[in-house]
């Protein structure tokens, strides 16, 4: 497989691919009108790849679309559940609905590029990544509000700027076209692990030129014991510890469980849709999501000579914690003239984030001293875009964007780390602000009736500044200091070019290449990060990360209702930001990395019985660290959190009043250490390869009323993704639509 991906072999591989696909597509040109109508169901209109409406087969990128019907046929608590079968995506942590929420524990890997801060996550094109860390609170996306999700991998800074380093995931909401009310209630969990209950209400309506969408949703979970304490037992302990392997193949002692982390989350939105005239559409609204993760007492396995429990500080957790996202937004489209459209997009977002940390010297399972970390951030973002048709063969998209992001980090002494209201003296603060102005342009040229070319680019100019300050307190014993960092300027130009060729009806061949960048996060430039064992210092002079990428492949849509997709890709990354270890207790953020990833994505869908679809896809990703001053031992090793192989397979659809899905997922071994030393499997702290199968079946008992039962991890496969993942789970739901 590696040989196939060598550059000197690219041309013959693409020629072979074109020959094979063309041979299969030769008969498509003679498809009947009925067949053509059926085939359009496989070719939805998408927005994200070009910032304009275009059929997926015409897009200059390999686009995956998760429809509303597909979401309904799965058990989806968060957007990660909906995306779990998408080609080339590896998600983990709080992206999934049965895991404790919080952006710091959820992430995504796309085509060998890991980290949520390197993938742009949006809702109707508006950014959800945190201004502070780049992480994503996946709970902020209201699943009931989503009409479909578009996944566009590849370098897309040419249209979206710095966060679109690895690609874009855009959730598109539904505008109301009639009156409808949707009520849902569900319960589930695992009898030996946790219990969860959900409820939601959504109302949409349209009267003439005015529409409204309002929704509320909530989830409550008891949490489950997924986190453990390990290390050397305290001197008082004489028994109870179990020897388990470490991630690197050694051994350590399992001391107990850190306890369940009960959690709840709420979401709500109100959106108004106005059509002031036949030429103008307008939507404005507000949305808010909030979740809280609680604390429960740990369970120690250790006992003293009298048989009494012995407590170890390794069983303490960084909870309670909370995260919230509030957005106020405005979007509009106006037809200025025939083939000329003006689009405006503006939003104001507030991100709340706090957590507590116990002081391991004084804290116990019953409470004690600690630190309260509070890091709110905001974003003001606005885009003005014009789409103009310049004759029958040329479409020009031009736009400008302005954005301001800031954060305010405050740390306080806590007298009781179980109680976030027991705050005392402030011991640390950090502040940072960045301002970005950008202009972008994209030109689509229909060179022939079957060949289109895209060329464009974006120029971003940004300024950042910040400060840090520390005070000596009981919880912060180090000397105080104050550092102010004046304005630093930087810029990036991100070009991209693509070709889309349709030699026969039903066959699309495409190739594209471009660059992207990710500016250093405010957390990397201006925040000292403290754990129980070390301190990581920021660097306000960090350079942006950059990537040069290309892809080539094709889609074949046959009149037999079969869709085949193949894409080759390659990424070359520079100036990756890493943490350099200076001493056992001191670390520093630096630009240290140069890396590459290359691979192939393959997928097939087949419409089987009426209403059913069979699908399978696989992704092979070869990745390698090529240079890393922060961790020289990582050179030549695979990149962290990048599976070598992934695959998805299953069937979904509906027949009469029945609907549902049966889906499977395979994820190969990933490494969490730069040197790929975490080779052990099957225990806490490890990342195991795994296969899971999920099933859901629903029946419409009355018109508009459905009952469903879903089973997650059907075969009760036990595995770890650092934390212990849930075993077999059950979830039942009642849905009423009227």
pLDDT at 15 > cutoff 60: no
Provide mean pLDDT across the span 391-400: 94
pLDDT at 17 > cutoff 80: no
Q: List all residues 6 or more positions away from 496 whose beta carbon is below 8 Å from its beta carbon.
A: 155, 156, 158, 159, 454, 455, 456, 457, 512, 513, 514, 515
Output the pLDDT for position 712. 93
Round the average pLDDT of the chain to a whole number and report it: 90
Q: Given the structure tokens 């949520």, which residue do they identify?
A: 116
DSSP 21: H
Tokens representing 315?
A: 């069983």
pLDDT at 201 > cutoff 70: yes
State how far the alpha carbon of 225 is from the alpha carbons of 258, 299, 517, 666, in Å.
Answer: 7, 10, 39, 24
Could you give the 3-state DSSP secondary structure of residue 522?
A: helix
Degrees (nearest 5) of the Cα angle 334, 338, 341? 30
For residue 706, give the nearest of 663, 665, 658 by alpha carbon.
Answer: 658
Contact 111, 621 (CB under 8 A): yes
Contact 468, 482 (CB under 8 A): yes
How many residues comprise the chain?
Answer: 738
Contact 489, 461 (CB under 8 A): yes
Output the pLDDT for position 486. 92
For residue 532, give the nearest of 152, 231, 246, 195 by alpha carbon.
Answer: 231
Provide mean pLDDT across the span 410-415: 94
Output the pLDDT for position 581. 82
Q: List all residues 6 or more positions away from 119 whose beta carbon is below 8 Å from its beta carbon.
A: 108, 110, 113, 163, 164, 165, 166, 167, 168, 169
pLDDT at 515 > cutoff 90: yes
* Least-confidence region, from 32-36, 79-83, 114-118: 32-36
Complete domains list, the chain, with CATH: 3-737 (2.40.170.20)
Could you give the 3-state DSSP secondary structure of residue 600?
A: strand
Contact 469, 463 (CB under 8 A): no
* Least-confidence region, from 250-254, 316-320, 555-559: 316-320
Count helices and strands (H / E) in the chain: 6, 41
pLDDT at 251 > cutoff 50: yes
Q: How confident is residue 41, by pLDDT bands cut at 50, 70 and 90?
A: low
E-strand ranges in 534-561 read 535-537, 545-558
Strand order in the sheet with 126-127: 64-67, 146-153, 167-173, 120-123, 126-127
pLDDT at 33 > cutoff 80: no
Q: How confident is residue 258, by pLDDT bands cut at 50, 70 and 90?
A: very high
Output the pLDDT for position 27. 34
Express the helix, strand and coil content of the chain in percent, nearest 5 each.
Answer: 10, 55, 35
Could you give the 3-state DSSP secondary structure of residue 217?
A: strand
Q: How confident is residue 10, by pLDDT bands cut at 50, 70 and 90?
A: very low
- Please, which residues bridge with residue 579 across strands? 589
Could you give the 3-state DSSP secondary structure of residue 348?
A: strand
Q: List all residues 6 or more positions away from 685 whose beta carbon is below 8 Å from its beta carbon.
A: 230, 246, 247, 678, 720, 722
State how far the alpha carbon of 445 is from the alpha carbons of 154, 385, 391, 452, in Å.
Answer: 21, 18, 10, 6
Output the pLDDT for position 182. 97
Could you give the 3-state DSSP secondary structure of residue 241?
A: coil
What's the pLDDT tens digit per position in 266-301?
999 999 999 999 999 999 999 999 999 998 889 999
SS3 letters across 633-659: HHCCCCCCCCCCEEEEEEEEEEECCEE
What's the pLDDT tens digit per position in 318-377?
889 999 999 999 999 999 999 999 999 999 999 999 999 898 888 888 889 999 999 999
Q: How confident is residue 532, by pLDDT bands cut at 50, 70 and 90?
A: low
State how far the alpha carbon of 218 is from the alpha carbons of 72, 143, 511, 512, 709, in Å.
Answer: 17, 11, 43, 42, 19
For residue 598, give the nearest of 560, 552, 564 by alpha carbon.
Answer: 552
Contact 77, 98 (CB under 8 A): yes
Q: How confident is residue 535, by pLDDT bands cut at 50, 70 and 90?
A: confident
d(CA 542, CA 485): 12
Output the pLDDT for position 534. 73
Output the pLDDT for position 580. 85
35 membership: H or E segment, kind and range: helix 33-39
Alpha helices in 152-220 (DSSP H): 157-160
Contact 612, 655 (CB under 8 A): yes
Report how far apart the first and last C-alpha atoms of the chain are (Å, whole number).
52
> Exposure of 738 by Cβ count < 10 A (0-12 exposed, 13-18 middle, 19+ buried)?
exposed
Output the pLDDT for position 678. 92
Output the pLDDT for position 338. 92
pLDDT at 245 > cutoff 50: yes
What's the pLDDT tens digit per position in 665-721?
999 999 999 899 999 888 888 999 999 999 999 999 999 999 999 999 999 999 999
State how far the alpha carbon of 109 is from the alpha carbons of 118, 171, 193, 386, 402, in Å.
Answer: 9, 17, 28, 32, 28
d(CA 460, CA 80): 30
Output the pLDDT for position 28. 33
* Least-confidence region, from 157-161, 414-418, 542-546: 414-418
DSSP 108: E
Output the pLDDT for position 533. 67
99 vs 151, higher pLDDT: 151
pLDDT at 508 > cutoff 60: yes
Output the pLDDT for position 490. 95
d(CA 490, CA 520): 11
Tokens representing 454?
A: 């895209």
13 membership: H or E segment, kind and range: helix 10-25
> Exposure of 665 by Cβ count < 10 A (0-12 exposed, 13-18 middle, 19+ buried)?
middle
What's the pLDDT tens digit per position in 592-628?
889 999 999 999 999 987 789 999 999 999 999 999 9
Dihedral of alpha carbons 626, 632, 636, 638, sign: negative
Output the pLDDT for position 193. 81
């Amino acid at each position: 497989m590696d040989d196939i991906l060598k550059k000197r072999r690219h041309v013959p591989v693409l020629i072979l691919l074109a020959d094979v696909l063309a041979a299969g597509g030769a008969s498509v040109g003679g498809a009947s009108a009925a067949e053509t109508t059926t085939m359009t169901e496989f070719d939805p209109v998408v927005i994200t790849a070009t910032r304009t409406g275009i059929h997926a087969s015409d897009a200059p990128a390999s686009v995956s679309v998760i429809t509303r019907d597909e979401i309904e046929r799965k058990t989806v608590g968060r957007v990660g559940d909906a995306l779990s079968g998408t080609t080339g995506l590896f998600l983990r942590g709080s992206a999934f609905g049965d895991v404790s929420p919080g952006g710091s524990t959820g992430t995504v890997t796309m085509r060998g590029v890991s980290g949520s801060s390197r993938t742009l996550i949006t809702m109707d094109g508006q950014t959800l990544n945190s201004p502070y860390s780049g992480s994503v609170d996946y709970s902020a996306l209201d699943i009931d509000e989503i009409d479909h999700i578009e996944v566009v991998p590849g370098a897309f800074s040419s249209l979206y700027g710095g966060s679109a380093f690895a690609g874009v995931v855009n959730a598109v909401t539904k505008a109301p076209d009639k009156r409808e009310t949707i009520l849902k209630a569900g319960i589930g969990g695992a009898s030996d692990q946790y219990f969860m209950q959900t409820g939601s209400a959504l109302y949409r309506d349209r009267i003439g030129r005015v529409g409204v969408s309002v929704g509320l949703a909530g989830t409550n979970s008891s949490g489950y014991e997924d986190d453990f304490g390990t290390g050397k037992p305290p001197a008082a302990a004489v028994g109870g510890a179990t020897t388990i392997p470490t991630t690197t193949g050694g051994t350590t002692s399992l001391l107990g469980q850190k306890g369940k982390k009960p959690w709840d989350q709420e979401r709500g939105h109100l959106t108004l849709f106005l059509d002031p005239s036949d030429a103008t559409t307008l939507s404005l609204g507000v949305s808010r999501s909030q979740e809280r993760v609680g604390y429960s007492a740990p369970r120690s396995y250790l006992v003293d000579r009298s048989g009494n429990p012995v407590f170890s500080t390794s069983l303490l957790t960084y909870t309670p914690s909370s995260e919230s996202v509030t957005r106020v937004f405005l979007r509009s489209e106006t037809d200025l003239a025939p083939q000329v459209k003006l689009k405006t997009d503006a939003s104001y977002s507030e991100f709340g984030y706090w957590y507590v940390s116990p002081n391991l010297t004084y804290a116990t399972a019953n409470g004690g001293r600690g630190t309260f970390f509070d890091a709110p951030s905001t974003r003001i973002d606005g885009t003005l875009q014009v789409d103009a048709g310049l004759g029958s063969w040329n479409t020009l998209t031009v736009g400008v964007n302005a954005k301001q992001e800031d954060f305010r980090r405050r740390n306080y002494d806590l007298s009781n780390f179980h109680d976030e209201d027991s705050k005392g003296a402030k011991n640390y603060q950090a502040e940072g602000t960045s301002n970005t102005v950008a202009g972008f342009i994209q030109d689509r040229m229909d060179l022939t009736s079957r060949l289109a070319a895209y060329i464009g680019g974006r120029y971003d100019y940004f300024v950042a500044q910040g400060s840090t300050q520390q005070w000596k307190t009981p919880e912060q014993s180090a000397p105080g200091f104050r550092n102010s960092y004046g304005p630093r300027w930087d810029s990036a130009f991100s070009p991209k070019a693509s070709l889309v060729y349709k030699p026969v009806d039903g066959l699309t061949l495409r190739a594209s290449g471009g660059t992207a960048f990710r500016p250093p996060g405010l957390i990397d430039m201006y925040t000292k990060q403290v754990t129980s064992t070390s301190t990581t210092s920021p660097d306000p002079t960090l350079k942006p990360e950059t990537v040069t990428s290309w892809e080539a492949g094709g889609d074949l849509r046959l009149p037999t209702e079969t869709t085949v997709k193949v894409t080759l890709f390659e990424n070359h990354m520079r100036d990756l930001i890493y943490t350099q270890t200076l001493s056992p207790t001191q670390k520093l953020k630096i630009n240290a990395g140069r890396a590459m990833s290359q691979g192939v994505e393959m997928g097939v869908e087949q419409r089987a019985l009426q209403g059913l679809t069979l699908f399978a896809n696989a992704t092979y990703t070869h990745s390698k660290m090529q240079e890393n001053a922060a961790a020289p031992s990582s050179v030549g090793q695979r990149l962290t959190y990048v599976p070598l192989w992934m695959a998805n397979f299953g069937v979904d659809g509906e027949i009469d009043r029945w609907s549902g899905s049966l889906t499977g997922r395979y994820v190969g071994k990933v490494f969490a250490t730069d040197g790929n030393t975490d080779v052990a499997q099957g225990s806490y702290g490890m990342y195991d390869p795994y296969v899971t199968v999920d099933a859901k079946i629903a029946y419409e008992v009355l018109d508009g009323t459905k009952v469903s039962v879903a089973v997650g991890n059907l075969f009760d496969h036990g595995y770890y993704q650092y934390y212990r993942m849930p075993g077999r789970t059950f979830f039942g739901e009642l849905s009423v639509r009227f």
